[in-house]
Amino acid sequence: MNQTITIKVKLNPTNEQIKLIDNGSLDYIKTINELVSEMVIDKKTTNKTSASVITPLNSAVKNQAIKDAKSVFKKAKKSKYKIIPVLKKPVIVWNNQNYTIKGNNISMPFIIDGKSKKIEIKADLNNDIFDTLSNAKLGTLRVTKKGRKYIAQISITLNIEPKTNGQVMGVDLGILIPAVATTQNGKVKFFGNGRQNKYYRRYYKTKRAKLSKAKKLNAIINMNNKEQRYMHNQDHKISRDIVNFAKENNVSVIRLECLEGISKTTRTSRKNKKNLHDWSFYRLSIYIEYKANLEGIRVEYVNPKYTSQTCPKCGERHKANGRSYFCKDCGFRTHRDLVGAKNIINATVIDGRSLSA
Ligand SMILES: [Zn+2]
């Protein structure tokens, strides 16, 4: 089954390269806007070729701009010229014949001193992204600016065979233990280092308080970014480990708790809104879903009600006592942190929550 997704990669251009991107992107949208207004006046699609479009862009890029302009014009025509889109956000696009990804660089042609020249720009290509890109059919490369950052958006098509008839795996996200997974046939794994995360959070909190007293705004912003990066990296690692564990154990469906609107459930004390925000359960589930989907593993969300209290064997409800869970009704005993994951396997699946990758 073919799936088209967009991979976003941060670029680290030099000052010289920033000038090339900035000028190129302005020329790119200017070209599109001019072509669109010409077509709107003529009320027909342009027959201009790259040779007849005069702008300091590489001919392949000009062709891409003509293509984009035609599709913008199509929309305008469809609205009977009531809506004539004008591009404002600078962007520049290359087709898959005109850029290459190698090592930690993405290369694409720019016009320098009137000549087309391929430029290598450093990019944050981690192993995950690199693996995904090497197994994919590459589409267009768009470079845009987000705040002060330059982002490469690479459209890719992957052939993903959905896994079927495998194990169902329940994953319980938590605070002390970031994630616990268990499969129907009883394979269990604990993920992440909750204690370490807690330590880092406290460390940053204390530092932040000190700086805030000293009114050092920039330092606080920098630290927030550092903390964010730390948590992002943790979530990436945990989600990757979870999906690898699923692959190793022939899992075709991963079930996670649906944690939206958590305040309506009885679980407010265990995973309340503050914790939901703090520990980014939501973000972690998105990462898991994204990585799982790339492997053909489906992710389902279940009702989180009583998943931590219900006896996985007989269905009676008990509060866990200390580190272990013991059911007075049927004698079932297990590690308390495993109860949630076991119950998630069999909990009611909630329809209609779809996350985009
Ligand atoms: Zn029981």
Q: What is the pLDDT of residues 169-183, one digit of tens each?
A: 999 988 778 899 999
**Does the reported pTM lie above 0.85?**
no
Ligand 1 geometric centre to CA of 180 (Å) = 21
> φ, ψ for residue 281 (rounded to 5)?
-55, -35
Ligand 1 geometric centre to CA of 204 (Å) = 42
Write out pLDDT tens, residues 226-238: 877 887 888 889 9
Tell me which of 335 and 107 has the higher pLDDT.
107
Most confident listed range (232-236, 279-283, 294-298): 294-298
Ligand 1 geometric centre to CA of 110 (Å) = 68
* Residue 18's pLDDT band (cuts 50, 70, 90): very high
Write out pLDDT tens, residues 309-331: 999 999 999 887 777 899 999 99
* Residue 260's pLDDT band (cuts 50, 70, 90): low
pLDDT at residue 279, rounded to an integer: 52
Ligand 1 geometric centre to CA of 316 (Å) = 6
What separation in angstroms does the CA of 109 have from each of 73, 93, 97, 100, 119?
Answer: 26, 11, 11, 10, 6
User: Which residues make up the environment of ion ligand 1, defined by Cβ < 5 Å?
Assistant: 311, 313-314, 327, 329-330, 332
For domain 167-350, give the CATH number.
3.30.420
Q: Residue range 157-168: average pLDDT?
A: 91
Ligand 1 geometric centre to CA of 269 (Å) = 23
Output the average pLDDT for the chain.
87
pLDDT at residue 346, rounded to an integer: 92
Q: Which two tokens stand for residue 168?
A: 């169902």
What is the distance between the alpha carbons of residues 133 and 79, in angstroms, rounded to a whole number?
Answer: 37
Ligand 1 geometric centre to CA of 242 (Å) = 28
Ligand 1 geometric centre to CA of 186 (Å) = 17
Under 8 Å CB-to-CB from 106, ≥6 apart: which residues? 9, 11, 99, 100, 120, 121, 123, 125, 141, 152
Ligand 1 geometric centre to CA of 328 (Å) = 7
Q: What is the DSSP letter of 348?
A: P
Beta bridge partners, 168, equal 253
Ligand 1 geometric centre to CA of 158 (Å) = 45
pLDDT at residue 34, rounded to an integer: 97
pLDDT at residue 42, rounded to an integer: 95
Ligand 1 geometric centre to CA of 306 (Å) = 14
* Residue 50's pLDDT band (cuts 50, 70, 90): very high
pLDDT at residue 226, rounded to an integer: 81
pLDDT at residue 3, rounded to an integer: 80
Domain ranges of the chain: 2-159, 167-350
Q: For the ranges 61-65, 142-146, 192-196, which has the lowest average pLDDT?
A: 192-196
Ligand 1 geometric centre to CA of 333 (Å) = 8
* Residue 262's pLDDT band (cuts 50, 70, 90): very low
Tell me which of 266 and 348 has the higher pLDDT.
348
Q: Residue range 34-62: average pLDDT?
A: 95
Ligand 1 geometric centre to CA of 131 (Å) = 45
